[in-house]
Every structure is written in structure tokens, then in C-alpha cells.
Amino acid sequence: MTRRTLPALALAALLAGGAAVAVGPVVADAQSQQQPQQQGHRPDRAAFDPGRHIEGRIAYLKAELKITDAQQPQFDAVAKVMRDNAKSMHDAFESLRGDRSQPRTALSRLEARAKFAQLRADGDAKMLAVFRPLYQAMSPDQQKAADEMLGHHGHGHFFRR
């Protein structure tokens, strides 16, 4: 896998939502297998970060759902959980990237996948707790928009990291 294909794969995984969990360890492995002269050299483009555009997703979600002033407190709770989930995922990715002293084994890869799956499950539970009151306060048109956003993308990546 070349360095040029990594950002494309990372973007595809981010847009696919849940696939980012499985790609994270692959991205870290591929980056750690770079040629020695490239190790420690940070490319000009940003490293894969699942929460990198969280503020844009929050703004897009607010606009698409046409959040009213009365719904703003519930939406603020959703936005906070989105930010918190993005930070948790970012920190986990950084932790994985930072530990390159140990070789990546099948066991370490499975451990990383389990860690990201648990982070995702915990984040989804937090999101459900704060999204439910917002959804119930929405008009039928807003609910339909939310249903389409969640269904259209398969994994509802706007509600995640």
C-alpha cells in the first residue's frame, strides 16, 4: 500500500462510518512500515483523524435538521457528545500511532480492534441518550430528515466521530 492510497482509504473509511474502526490499525501499520528515512517525517497532508471535521459535521447536522431556538439545548447536548466521542477516538488513534516500539502482531491488531469497537459502542450509547430527547422534540419533517441522514449513510457517520 503506498502513502498516496492511505489518505483515500482513510477518507472512504470516515465516510463509511464504522469502517474507520477497522482501518485505524491498518493505517497505523502501513505508516509504521514506511522506509526508515521517512519515519519521523510528517507528510504535508494531515494524518488520518476520525474527528478532524467534527465542527463541520455539527454545523451541517444543525442546518440539515433545521434546529430551532427551542431545540438548541437538546442539540447542544448532542454536539457535546459528538465532540467528546471525536476526542476519545482521536486520543485512541494517537495512542496507537505513538507506540511504534513494539512490532504489530495479530494479537495486538485484534486488541486494537476490540478497543475501537468498545469506544464506538460506548459513544453510540452516549449519543442515543442525548439524541432521543432531541428527536422527540423534532417536528415530523425534522425527524424524517434525521431518519434519512442516518439511513442514507448506512452508519450515520454524522452522529459519530
Report CA-CA distances (Å) from 19 to 58, 67, 105, 129.
20, 29, 20, 23
Domains of the chain by residue range: 5-159
Distance CA 130, CA 80 (A): 9
Distance CA 114, CA 76 (A): 30
Distance CA 84, CA 59 (A): 16
Identify the helix (H) or strand (E) that includes residue 118. helix 106-137
pLDDT tens digits for range 12-23? 333 334 434 444
**Does the pLDDT at position 109 exceed 90?**
no
**Does the pLDDT at position 31 exceed 50?**
no
Closest CA to 25 of 127, 126, 119, 156: 119
Q: What is the pTM of this model?
A: 0.65
pLDDT tens digits for range 51-95? 778 999 999 999 999 999 999 999 999 999 999 999 999 888 888
